[in-house]
Amino acid sequence: MTETKIVVITGASSGMGEATAKLLAKDGARLVLGARREERLKILKSEVEKLGGQAVYGMTDVTDVAQVEALAQLTMQTFGRIDVWINSAGIMPQSPLADKRIADWDNMIDINIKTLYGIGAALPYMNKQQAGQIINVSSVAGHIAHQNSAVYSATKFAVQAISESLRQEMAAAQNNVRVTVVAPGAVNTELLSSVTDPQVKAGMAQFYDSFAISADRVALTIKQAIDLPADAAWNEVIIRPTNQIG
C-alpha cells in the first residue's frame, strides 16, 4: 500500500504533482519531490510532513538529464529504493500553427516528451529490485487533437507511445515493473499560465471556468493506481470532468 512506498514526483511544486504529494502524505508515504522552484518545494516538504509523510526534495529541471539522474540518486541515498516514479511535469502553450510560436513548440517538446529522462533514471533501480511503477501524466490531448493543440497533442501522443512501448518491454522482461498513464481532461492547475497566445488563452480560460475539476481528483486516481495489487496494473486511465465532451 501507499504507506510502504518510496515515491518520486517530478513537477511536484504545483498542480497534479503537488496534489498527489499531499494525498500520499496522508498515508505516511515517503516522498522525493522534484521541481525547479525551491521555495515551493520547501513549503510542500513542510506540508507533507504536517500531513504525516516524509519528504526530501531536489531542485530538478526535467529537461536536464543530469538533474533528473541526481533526483534518482537522492532517492536511493535517502530511502534505498524507488517504488514509484511519477512524471508529472508539463506545459500547455497552445496556439495556431500559423503563429509559429517556435519557443513554445520547443519548450513543449523539451518538457513534455522528456518524460523519457525520468523513465531512464528510475529503470535501472527498478530492474535491480524486480519491482516498481512508472506513472506518466499525459492528457486527453494524447488521444484527440483539436485546432491550436497540434504540438501539445503531439507531445502527449508521444507520451502514450513511449508508455505503451515501455509497458511491453517490462512485461517481456518479467521484472514486475508496472506502467500507468493518467490522461486528464480539464483540471485546475497552472497549465493555463503557460499559454502565450492571448486569444487562445481567453477561450481556454472560459472553458476551464465552466468544466475544470480539482487536481485532487487526478491525485486520487494516481493513488488508486499505486494501491492496486502488484500483480495487476492500470495501464491507462482517462479522467475527465463529467460534463466535458471533448
Tens-level pLDDT at each residue, the chain (246 residues): 566 799 999 999 999 999 999 999 999 999 999 999 999 999 999 999 999 999 999 999 999 999 999 999 999 999 999 999 999 999 999 999 999 999 999 999 999 999 999 999 999 999 999 999 999 999 999 999 999 999 999 999 999 999 999 999 999 999 999 999 999 999 999 888 899 999 999 999 999 999 999 999 999 999 999 999 999 999 999 999 999 998
Residue 100 is assigned to a structural domain of this protein: yes
- CATH number at 174 reads 3.40.50.720
Residue 64, CB-side half-sphere exposure with 13 Å CA sphere: 11
Residue 42 is assigned to a structural domain of this protein: yes
Q: Which domain holds residue 13?
A: 2-239
Residue 116 is assigned to a structural domain of this protein: yes
| Structural domains of the chain, count | 1
| Predicted pLDDT at 74 | 98
Residue 246 is assigned to a structural domain of this protein: no
Residue 244 is assigned to a structural domain of this protein: no
| Predicted pLDDT at 191 | 83
Select which of 57, 117, 152, 208 is catalytic.
Answer: 152
| Predicted pLDDT at 25 | 97
Decide if 57 is catalytic.
no
Query: Using CA atoms, how far apart are residues 99 and 205, in angstroms rounded to an integer?
Result: 20
Q: How many other CB atoms are found less than 10 A from the CB of residue 45?
A: 20
Residue 198 is assigned to a structural domain of this protein: yes
